[in-house]
Amino acid sequence: MLTALTVKKHERRKGMKGLVDRLKRDRAVVQVKRARGVYLKQITYISYGRKPRFEKLEKIIGDSKKRIICSPKIDFHDECGFRRFENSDFTARLCTNLAICLLSMCDFAEKLKIGIYDPDGRDSEFLKYVMKYSSDVTVVTNSPDVYYDENELIMENMGACATVTKRTEELELCQLIIAPRTIENTFSSNDKTLILTNGRPKAEVLGEIYYKYYFKMPNGFDRIKPQEIETEYFCSALYSLGRQYSLGSIVPTMCSNFSTSQTVKSLYAQFEKINKTVE
């Protein structure tokens, strides 16, 4: 069962009513919701004090204390031992699915130089899908052994292989760079490079970067999603904690960055401009 937490702070009133509020005890309301075989325990904690006393929820939350689905605005103090659920696997799939969607729309993908930035080697299985569209693929990773095994299989099945290196400079000439995880360190690129990644980069990188994805949540799950929880984050919990792996096939309909939003169609148009510089 998944566990979601919402905190509602009771508005502090003045005078005698305020005194009465201070005498009230914090309380929790628990609802169990179900959709498509997934059970969600929705806990609404109503706080009358200055700071929520999360230790009161220990028995209600149980063994979910290290993976609570909640807003990033909730500040768990260290003493309570509670942790917000965090996992990037689902968003990594959104990123790679959009990349494959774009490549499948192109009749010029084979002319493109494509880069995959995967420092930890967590997304090596993605390589074979990219190699279906282009043989000019460079992987930058600190775990080359993982990709060597993948490369061997691709060579056997497709008769081609990617360049695998630790040198970030090798990405500089790429027209498309796919970084399935959050970019934490800078790498070589150029201002015309289209970069798809997972979450806002923590390092400065040149290029047209998109890192936020939008899609329609499958029917049913919207009925159990807490209102203040973002769709992408909630689906991440369904995917990783609820084992709803079918969500991993979702292709985003839009993406955005610091200031711009793009539909798949408009992003493709931008990709087509890149192709003109390659010809």
CATH annotation of 89-215+251-278: 3.40.50
Question: pLDDT, tens digit, for every residue of 110-156?
Answer: 889 999 999 999 999 999 999 999 999 999 999 999 999 899 999 99
Judged against a pLDDT cut of 90, whether residue 80 lies above it is answered with no
Where does residue 198 fall: left (phi above 0), alpha (psi -120 to 50 degrees), or beta otherwise?
beta
DSSP 3-state of 227: coil
Average predicted confidence (pLDDT) for the chain: 89
Domain(s) labelled CATH 3.40.50 in the chain stretch across 89-215+251-278
261-263: strand order across its sheet: 212-214, 254-256, 261-263
Average pLDDT rounded to a whole number, residues 154-159: 90
Percent with pLDDT over 70 in the chain: 91
Judged against a pLDDT cut of 50, whether residue 213 lies above it is answered with yes
Average pLDDT rounded to a whole number, residues 192-204: 94
* β partners of residue 13: none
Check residue 58 and give its pLDDT: 87
Judged against a pLDDT cut of 50, whether residue 23 lies above it is answered with no
Check residue 11 and give its pLDDT: 62
Judged against a pLDDT cut of 90, whether residue 219 lies above it is answered with no
- Residue bearing the bigger pLDDT, 276 or 54: 54
Check residue 81 and give its pLDDT: 86
User: β-pairing, 27-35 with 137-140?
Assistant: unpaired
Look up residue 16 and give its amino acid: M
45 contacts 25 by C-beta, under 8 angstroms: no
Average pLDDT rounded to a whole number, residues 2-29: 69
Query: For residues 200 and 212, what is the distance between their CA atoms, to the nearest angstrom?
Result: 8
Average pLDDT rounded to a whole number, residues 217-228: 92
Please tell me what DSSP assigns to residue 26. Answer: P
Average pLDDT rounded to a whole number, residues 51-56: 82
If one counts every other C-beta atom within 10 angstroms of the C-beta of residue 111, the result is 14
Judged against a pLDDT cut of 80, whether residue 21 lies above it is answered with no
Question: pLDDT, tens digit, for every residue of 243-255?
Answer: 999 999 999 999 9
Check residue 277 and give its pLDDT: 57
Nearest Cα neighbor of 86 from 222, 226, 233 is: 233
Check residue 158 and give its pLDDT: 87
Check residue 166 and give its pLDDT: 96
Question: pLDDT, tens digit, for every residue of 168-197?
Answer: 999 999 999 999 999 999 999 988 899 999
Check residue 19 and give its pLDDT: 47
